[in-house]
Amino acid sequence: MTPYYQDNRITIFHGDCRELLPEILRARDGVPFDLCMTDPPYGINYSRGFSEGAKLGRNTLSPTKFAGDASRCAGDERPFDPWHMVASLANEEERGQEPETAEEFVLWGANNYARALPFDSGGWFIWDKRCNISSNDGSDAELAWTTLTNSARIFYHVWDGFRRDTQKDKPRIHPMEKPVALWSWCLRFAPGASEIIDPYCGSGSSLRAAKNAGLSAVGIDIEERWCAAAAEEARQEAFTFA
């Protein structure tokens, strides 16, 4: 495998993570990453339908009508099945020969595909992105399923259009971009982590947070435009997001 970008901390691969993850793990002799921290495309560009349910992997979902536009992310035109990342967390009979991706997980948007996860967890991260400042038709908060805690933890950080607590002068690149500050907050719950994997790295804010913390990170994205954006973020050796 040839990385799209690589420096002393960050490695970025362009391609489908369902194909690349097994290759990356084989290259590591099966050694899992310390933390899989990602925000996959979980079907946000769908509008829910009312016809007979359809089965996707281990998750039963209703057929839906695409309601996205040209700014959508690859893979977001269908419901998300996380099994290629988390199968190793299930019992041996259930997972078969699936490689172990990581020791710990932070999966944003998991409330949209929770039934497909291998077990229930009391560990949830909640990102309050309005903080009682504003409201609109979008979600007031976002949720991440995590193995890093057994309880619910809340991060208060305004991120609503032009209203932002950080990165105020930096244009948003990715339609589903999350602030570096959020990823940095997630990393506080994994003090022993040194190697991070983000199979859906988008424009690279999770990789930037890892690099700021002095960690190594591997990112994968199926769209080259996001790999290019993530590489540009990674090239900035000293970058603050105030």
Q: Could you tell me if residue 208 is inside a domain?
A: yes
Residue 20, pLDDT score:
97
Residue 167 token pair: 């990165």
Q: Could you tell me if residue 136 is inside a domain?
A: no
Better pLDDT: 201 or 77: 201
- DSSP-assigned letter for residue 31: P
Q: Could you tell me if residue 129 is inside a domain?
A: no
Distance from C-alpha of 230 to C-alpha of 173, rounded to nearest angstrom? 10
Domain ranges, residue 51: 5-121+169-235
How many domains is the chain partitioned into structurally? 1
Q: Could you tell me if residue 151 is inside a domain?
A: no
Q: Could you tell me if residue 163 is inside a domain?
A: no
Torsion angle of C-alpha atoms 24, 29, 31, 33, degrees rounded to 10 = -20
Query: pLDDT tens digits for 20-62?
Result: 999 999 999 999 999 999 999 987 665 444 333 333 333 333 3
Q: Could you tell me if residue 90 is inside a domain?
A: yes
Q: Could you tell me if residue 87 is inside a domain?
A: yes
Domain of 39, CATH number, reads: 3.40.50
